[in-house]
Structure 1
């Protein structure tokens, strides 16, 4: 296992109380695998990735669990040790490239800095590596575009620059946080195809953070569905789409518009709102939005159990005898 996250808990201590942004989350990623974490905004996806990278800002703090990378717990490493790993063995593509790239530095200078920090190369060699990576991610005239500033590039090109920067030191694990947000569908498809081809070329593991199930279907091998800081369901991508189990997963899938649907009916919408993280319900956090809520759901938190190749946190499958409910 390349990365193994065990019982991770990340809290934000605020004046009004404590927000359990990531609450007892466990998962693993094999080398060369693409694992997608999907869920609504506020489900804990990005906080999970920042916890893995050691990039949480105050008041966020990992309060429990372990993050094992090649068997070593990253939470026990010093900031100096983490700096040697970040950008080298583990890299991250952030959500918005325009805010992640420094507007006053040329593209080449920002990538060269990363390369020279982690690889023993001269500036001339680092520049050649930069141009090579820009070419790898499909930027035309890479030698010329390396001299551009971020504002001189389109959104799709800036995203490609972020990918080039993340891949410059040949990482074994790439964390991609909403890599296709705000891009049109054509550019989105190109970015996904690029990530997939680079995974094949470098045998690189990818942790893909997204709210877009279309992206998940296109790129992922396995899927984790998160809600209110917890894993609601986990399965391989084919099983999740062909046989979704958790009512939240079903709601997300039913909310996707389909071209073949000619019924003229309004698009399905999950009722209600995500609960206030400072005032979580007593039982299942999805209980007040669930069409199949039982009294037990409002009183107890179901455990994440393995059922039919899935891991699912729901009393519909979490009966006393461990049997799946007959009617879904």
Structure 2
């Protein structure tokens, strides 16, 4: 086991109370594995990764749980010990490379600095390694581009520089936080192919933070779905896409347009908004947006139950005693959840058609009134 996170809780004290950005989150990452963490904005994905890297901004802090990297306790590391670990054994690609790279330094100098911080090598050797890393990540003419400033590069090139910097010391774990955000589709495909190829060549593990399920299906081995700071589902990537269990996961997958969908139906949309972290609903955090909400969902927070390696946090699969339901009860609950989602989409479609008809009639009346 390379990275083991158990019952992690991260909090941000504010004037109106305490924001629980991450609540009782657990997952493991093996060497050579790509684990994806998905969810909407505000689900706690990035805060989880920053907690692992020890880069939480004040007043944020780890309030509970444990994090171990190769058996080393990360929670109680000093800042000096963390600095030795970051960039060397653990590295991170941040969301926006233009703000992560220093605009007044050439990209080569920034990569050289990262190498010399952790390894006792000369400037010449570090520069040669930086050129080699730029070549590995697919930057053409690296001997010339190493002396460019960040603003002289495209978004895809800057992202490749960030990857080269993160991989310059051969880390065992790479955390990629939205590595393809704001990149066009062709560049996204190149970046994802690069991450897979580097994983295969070096054996490093990748913790991929994203909201794009298409990226997950193409890249990841396992998936953790987060909502409001909690893990609501975890499974192998094929299992999750073929057999989603949690209503939130089902909603995310049904929100993706497909060529075989009936054109007469509107695209499914999860109703409502992510709740204010200071005003969470009682019981299940997803209860106010769930098409399959039951009375118990508004009274009690479900546990994360393990169903033969497929973990889910939902009372469709758990009884009041916190135990997994029988196979037949689960099958019945899943059928009801799918039917509820379809019914919700049909209601939304009819409401949208009525609204469009009313708008059209109002426009006709305005035109007739103007012509008089």
TM over 0.5: yes
Corresponding residue of 2:230: 230
Corresponding residue of 1:313: 313
Corresponding residue of 2:9: 9
Corresponding residue of 2:129: 129
Q: Is 1:20 paired with 2:43? A: no
Shift of 1:260: 3.4
Residues 160-209 of structure 1: CA deviation (Å, up to 9, x unaligned): 00000000000000000000001111000000000000000000000000
1:75 partner SS: coil
2:160 partner SS: helix
Indicate how the Cα distance of structure 1 residues 146 and 264 shifts in structure 2: closer, same or farther if over 3 A, else same: farther
| Aligned pairs for 1:149-168 within 5 A | 149-168=149-168
Distance 1:125 1:44 in 2: 40
Q: Is 1:217 paired with 2:217? A: yes
Shift of 1:281: 0.9
Shift of 1:74: 0.9
| Aligned pairs for 1:186-225 within 5 A | 186-225=186-225
Shift of 1:326: 3.1
Distance 2:5 2:72 in 1: 11
Q: Is 1:326 paired with 2:318? A: no
2:253 partner SS: helix
Shift of 1:120: 1.1
1:32 partner SS: coil
Corresponding residue of 1:73: 73
1:51 partner SS: helix
Distance 2:290 2:280 in 1: 15
Distance 1:129 1:257 in 2: 44
Residues 36-93 of structure 1: CA deviation (Å, up to 9, x unaligned): 0000000000000000000000121101111100111111111001000000100000
Distance 2:96 2:264 in 1: 35
Shift of 1:322: 2.4
Corresponding residue of 1:298: 298
TM-score by length of 2: 0.87
2:330 partner SS: coil
What's the Cα RMSD here? 0.9
Q: Is 1:268 paired with 2:273? A: no
TM-score by length of 1: 0.98
Corresponding residue of 2:343: none
Corresponding residue of 1:52: 52
Distance 1:322 1:2 in 2: 29
Distance 1:195 1:26 in 2: 24
Corresponding residue of 2:349: none
Corresponding residue of 2:146: 146
Shift of 1:269: 0.5
Shift of 1:2: 0.3
| Aligned pairs for 1:168-179 within 5 A | 168-179=168-179
Shift of 1:264: 4.2
Shift of 1:266: 1.9
Distance 2:262 2:108 in 1: 50
Q: Is 1:40 paired with 2:45? A: no
> Which protein, 1 or 2, shows the higher relative CO under an 8 Å CA cutoff with sep ≥ 6?
1
Shift of 1:308: 3.8
Shift of 1:262: 4.8
Unmatched 5+ residue regions in structure 2? Answer: 335-372
Distance 1:262 1:144 in 2: 52
Unmatched 5+ residue regions in structure 1? Answer: none
Distance 1:111 1:326 in 2: 53
Distance 1:121 1:75 in 2: 31
